[in-house]
Amino acid sequence: MQVAAIEAAAARFTQTVFIPALKARRGLPRLRALFDHWLDWTKRSGLAHGCPMQAAAVEFDDRPGPVRNAVIEHFARLERELVRAVELAIGEGHLRTDLDTGQFVFDMMGVIFAYYHNARLIKGGKAESRARIAFERLIAAAVPVA
């Protein structure tokens, strides 16, 4: 039952974040759309208690078994898809060709997780604006120098 709940949350995430972002132009516009949709996916999905995947990751990170494996697979798939989006942005010339895509995705996920932590636990009123500033700094550091 718990694995089914993880799979349902992952499917909802895909429908709310990734599918709409695919409508954006390939490259940096799509990467920005992914970030925007990800910031507010729990609100748009009616998940009043925050991100179920992040909650499952915290709860099962040190508990071996099928639920942990399902959470790991979700995050591994998420990282692969984000790396692909960054690679497309590089291919479009929007980001540097020497960019470490894994590091970029790690940093992007860090911004999102810090946003969730600040917005939900601390009730930080500036969480969204701080997340957007952090993401724009990440992009600014990754664009080709003219």
The predicted pLDDT at position 145 comes to: 86
pLDDT 10s digits, 111-125: 998 988 888 778 768
8 Å CB contact between 34 and 16? no
Q: Which residues lie below 8 Å from residue 44, measured CB to CB, with a gap of 6+?
A: 16, 37
The predicted pLDDT at position 118 comes to: 86
Residue 44 corresponds to which tokens in the numbers above?
């748009």
The predicted pLDDT at position 119 comes to: 82
The predicted pLDDT at position 2 comes to: 84
List of domains in the chain: 2-142 (1.10.357.10)
Sign of torsion, CA 42 113 105 81? negative
Reported pTM? 0.89
* Among 57, 67, 20, CA closest to 39: 20
The DSSP string of 89-131 is HHHTTSS-TT--HHHHHHHHHHHHHHHHIIIIIS--TTHHHHH
The predicted pLDDT at position 61 comes to: 82
pLDDT averages per 10-residue partition of the chain, 146 residues: 86 91 96 94 70 80 89 93 97 98 97 87 84 97 91
The predicted pLDDT at position 49 comes to: 59
